[in-house]
Every structure is written in C-alpha cells, then in structure tokens.
Amino acid sequence: MVNTGTHLPLSGKVALVTGGGRGIGAGIALELARRGASVAINYGHSAKSAQEVVEAIQAIGNQAVAIKADLTCVPNIESLIKQVVSHFGRLDIVVSNSGMEKFKPLEETTLEDFNEVFDLNTRAQMFVARYAYDHIQPGGRVILMSSIAAGLGVPGHALYAGSKAAIEGFTRCLAADFGRKGCTVNAIAPAGVKSDMWRENAWRYAPGCDKGSSLEEIETALASGSPLKRCGVPEDIGKVVSFLASPDAEWVNGEFFLFLFLPSARCKGHGGDWNADPFASERIGQIIPVNGGANI
C-alpha cells in the first residue's frame, strides 16, 4: 500500500533505487522515504543490508520492499521494473544508482574487464531508463548516476571513467525522450562520498596517501580540500536526489550535477600525477545549473 498523504513532498509517490541496499543508494532510499515516498530497494548481493534499509523505512511509517536483480542481465531489468509496478501499483521516481569501480593498469586490461564495468555502469543504466519509460507516471523523475571520475585523468581508471562519462550523453538525450511523458531526467556526479566503495579506493585520490594510509588519514587529506572541511556522506547525495524528485524540480531537466568538493585537485597519487583543475574550470558553471530543457 502506497502512502497517499499530502503533508510531505513525495507522499503518494513510488521510487525505485537500484543498488539501494548500501552506501549512496541506501542514503538515497532513506531520504526519499523521509519525504513520503514508498521505496523499492534493488540489490544484487547485499540482501542483509537491503533488508535493513527496508526496515528503517518501515520504521518511519513508509512502505518498502527489497527486490533482488542482477542488472548486468538486461531481461532482469525489465522484470525488476514490472515487479515494482506489480507490488506498488505505480512508478514515479527511478534512481539508477547501481555501479562498480575498477582500477586496472592499461597493459593488464582485458575485454572481460571492459564488459564487467560497462555492463553495470553504462548498459544497465540505459536499460533501467528504457524500461522505466514504459511504466513511469506522467510527471515522473529519472535520476542517473555518473561520477566526478568521468572528467579526471587518473592512471588505471579509464574503464570506470569512460563508463560514467557516457551517462552525461544519456541524460541529455533521455531528457528529450522522456519529455513526451512530462518526465525529467537528470544525472548527478558525486565525489568524496564516504561509502564502502570510498573505503576501498579513496586513498587513490587523497594527496599524500597510499594504500597503507589509515581511513582517518585519507579522510583528513580529502576533507582539507573542501570548503566545509569534511567529506560527503550518502545522505548528502540523497537530499539532492530528493530535490530532483520533488515537484520543485520540475524545471530542472537534462542536467548534470557535479559535486566538485576539491576546489584545487592537483594530486600526486598512486600511479602518477593527475590534475582536476582544467575539468573544474570548464565545468564549474554546471555545478548547480537550472533550466527548463535539455542542453542539446
């Protein structure tokens, strides 16, 4: 049963969050629920943590369900969307959050590595949107997940960066496609968000850190570059997604929200030096853009 109250901005809405059982996805799911949405939590392997998110949502008085689906298999994506609609009776908000990160030296990269990363980070996001289109309610919202890595030259990171760079192109074109149904499509590109993926790989981005650095040292190094002197947490991303899913964001469409938490990101890190400054200066005007149509 869907919450049909009117006191919260997302009351009566049904959201699907892929990869919603942990990390950023869990933060997104909880923030959507706090604003009144009923939430379907898709997970691939994290059944226990996905159920914990469901129980947390139910504890605040909203409906939630966990649905297992391997999104690297395209027919599973169509089945997932249909299961959500069957369970709740509608679909209003789709957050395509599932993804993986891989670092691999170029000379060791294989076709299997390429397929592993692109099947989930890129192809799955395209088909989540594709099958959502068939069922989403008029005025619905689609939010895709990119990464700041899409614009950085980090050694050994070509597969991940490339898989996320494609999402910006998807977003602009899908915004035009979904416009026929009165729906919006936007993407967000997080950076420095504390999650399980962050714990595994953040040392690669942290100035002066290496694989042997403690999490405290890594967090201090990364937070020092932020004007707020902290790293992001999943709830930070969840709040932005919740805004994009809300009625107030109706005129925000086809946009790419870049969370560039390092004002100057010249890093001497694992595998070589890299520099985010050209990317930052080129894209700084797109951090919080608002306009009524896709930039085509």
pLDDT, tens only, 65-77: 999 999 999 999 9
Q: Are 218 and 206 in contact (CB under 8 A)?
A: yes
User: 46-102 pLDDT, tens per residue?
Assistant: 899 999 999 999 999 999 999 999 999 999 999 999 999 999 999 999 999 998 888
- What does the alpha-carbon distance between residue 37 and residue 9 come to, in Å, rounded to a whole number? 8
> 266-269 and 14-17 as β-strands: parallel, antiparallel, unpaired?
unpaired
* Confidence (pTM): 0.84
Residue 292 pLDDT level (bands cut at 50, 70, 90) = very low
Catalytic residue of the set 38, 96, 164, 195: 164
User: 176-230 pLDDT, tens per residue?
Assistant: 999 999 999 999 988 777 777 767 777 677 778 888 888 888 778 777 777 888 8
Q: What is the mean pLDDT of residues 113-123?
A: 97
Cα four-point dihedral sign 11, 246, 123, 265: negative
DSSP 8-state code for residue 269: E
The domain defined by 14-194+234-259 folds into Rossmann fold (3.40.50)
Q: Which of 234, 214, 231 minimizes the C-alpha distance to 223?
A: 231
Q: What is the DSSP string of 152-166?
A: ---TT-HHHHHHHHH
State yes or no: is 13 an active-site residue.
no
- For 70: left if phi > 0, alpha if psi spans -120 to 50, otherwise beta; the answer is beta
Q: What is the pLDDT of residue 41?
A: 98
Over its C-alpha atoms, the chain yields an Rg (Å, rounded) of 18
State yes or no: is 160 an active-site residue.
yes
State yes or no: is 133 an active-site residue.
no
Catalytic residue of the set 147, 195, 242, 246: 147
- What does the alpha-carbon distance between residue 106 and residue 153 come to, in Å, rounded to a whole number? 13
Q: What is the DSSP string of 98-151?
A: --------GGG--HHHHHHHHIIIIIHHHHHHHHHHHHPPTT-EEEEE--GGGG
Q: What is the pLDDT of residue 3?
A: 57
Q: Are 218 and 192 in contact (CB under 8 A)?
A: no
Q: Please give the distance of CA 69 from its chain centroid, rounded to a whole number.
A: 17
Q: Residue-wise over 132-166: b if at least 16 C-beta within 10 A, else e?
A: bbebbbeebbbbbbbbbbbbbebebbbbbbbbbbb
User: 229-281 pLDDT, tens per residue?
Assistant: 887 788 989 999 999 999 999 999 999 988 755 544 444 444 444 444 444 44
State yes or no: is 164 an active-site residue.
yes
26-30, 153-157, 236-240, 277-281: least confidently modelled range: 277-281
What SS3 state is found at 232? strand
Catalytic residue of the set 49, 96, 98, 146: 146
Q: What is the pLDDT of residue 1?
A: 53
Q: Are 29 and 17 in contact (CB under 8 A)?
A: yes
Q: What is the pLDDT of residue 6?
A: 53
pLDDT at 154 over 60: yes
Phi–psi pair at 257, nearest 5 degrees: -95, 110
What SS3 state is found at 193? strand
* Residue 242 CB contacts under 8 Å (≥ 6 apart), including other chains: 9, 10, 28, 31, 32, 34, 35
Phi–psi pair at 60, nearest 5 degrees: -95, 5
Residue 150 pLDDT level (bands cut at 50, 70, 90) = confident
Catalytic residue of the set 160, 194, 205, 246: 160
- Neighbouring-strand partners of residue 14: 38
